[in-house]
């Protein structure tokens, strides 16, 4: 049985990088590069034409960069592809702006090929992907920025349950769905259900926005410790 193919649009201004990434992505049995672009303007045009599930796009490019490219792709409306940003930097203001522009996450250019493939699959499924090694540094910085006026007032939103707060804290520590399930000793499908409810209750679009908004609304603190595993003994 043939796997369901995830169609990918690859965007980078360097031809060698595009070629290398195309080989990596195309080497996966369920990923297919349908087009390549050299800047954000071309990316938006090709996204409208090819309708891929995911756009993998460099943040920094001459002309129309990845941030404006993400905004143009989001403006395509219903059915617009998820945008996964590529960056060389572990903590960079442009990454924060890209997330606000509608990107579903980011991955470092020096990440392992397997991680890039996992990230593509994650955002194709509607989940966020924040590189675990830098998510802890990035999200508190997002929390210090003003809350967008489009975010609903917390006072009018349903309260999160204790389990949802626990899942949200684990998200903030950069844990994947599988890692959260192992940490809480629950099924991955249950984690996805909690994640969906968290996003819905906070009135947001995805996991990345949920964690950032939780910091802003003081549902989480930047120095929150990683919750202990169930049954573990604390000193």
Query: What are the chain's domains?
Result: 6-129 (3.40.50.2300), 142-216 (1.10.10.10)
Distance CA 164, CA 191 (A): 9
All residue ranges of the chain with pLDDT < 50 are: 147-157, 233-235
As a whole number of angstroms, the distance between CA 154 and CA 202 comes to 7
The closest of 139, 150, 148, 158 to 215, measured between CA atoms, is 139
Best CA proximity match to 188, nearest among 200, 199, 180, 196: 180
pLDDT in tens, 88-109: 765 556 767 777 788 888 888 8
The CA-to-CA distance between both ends of the chain, in Å, stands at 51
Token pair for residue 195?
């994640």
The predicted pLDDT at position 70 comes to: 92
pLDDT attached to residue 33: 96
DSSP 3: P
Separation of alpha carbons 47 and 51, rounded Å: 5
Do residues 86 and 120 make contact, with C-beta atoms less than 8 angstroms apart? no
DSSP code, position 217: T
pTM score, two decimals? 0.66
What is the spatial distance between Cα 179 and Cα 142, in angstroms, rounded to a whole number?
23
- Give the residue among 145, 140, 138, 43 at the shortest CA–CA distance from 84: 43
Q: What is the pLDDT of residue 148?
A: 45
- The dihedrals phi and psi of 140, each to the nearest 5 degrees, come to -60, -30
Res 231: pLDDT: 54
Report residue 77 CA to chain centroid gap.
18
Query: Which tokens hold the place of 214?
Result: 């939780």
Query: The tokens of 80 are what?
Result: 């617009």
pLDDT of residue 154: 41
């Amino acid at each position: 049985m043939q796997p369901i193919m995830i169609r990918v649009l690859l965007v980078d201004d360097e031809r060698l990088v595009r070629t290398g990434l195309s080989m990596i992505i195309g080497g996966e049995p369920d990923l297919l590069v349908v087009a390549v672009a050299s800047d954000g303007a071309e990316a938006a045009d090709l996204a409208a034409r090819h309708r891929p599930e995911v756009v993998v796009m460099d943040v920094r490019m001459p002309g129309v960069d990845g941030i404006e490219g993400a905004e143009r792709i989001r403006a395509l409306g219903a059915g617009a592809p998820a945008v996964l940003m590529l960056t060389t930097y572990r903590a960079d203001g442009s990454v924060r702006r890209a997330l606000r522009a509608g990107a579903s996450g980011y991955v470092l250019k020096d990440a392992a090929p397997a991680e890039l493939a996992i990230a593509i699959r994650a955002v194709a499924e509607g989940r966020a992907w924040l590189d675990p090694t830098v998510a802890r540094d990035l999200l508190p910085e997002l929390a210090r920025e003003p809350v967008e006026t489009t975010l609903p007032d917390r006072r009018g939103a349903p309260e999160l349950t204790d389990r949802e707060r626990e899942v949200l804290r684990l998200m903030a520590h950069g844990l994947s769905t599988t890692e959260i399930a192992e940490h809480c000793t629950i099924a991955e499908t249950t984690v996805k259900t909690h994640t969906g409810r968290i996003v819905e209750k906070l009135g947001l679009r995805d996991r990345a926005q949920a964690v950032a908004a939780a910091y802003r609304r003081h549902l989480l603190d930047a120095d929150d410790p990683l919750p202990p595993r169930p049954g573990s003994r604390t000193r």
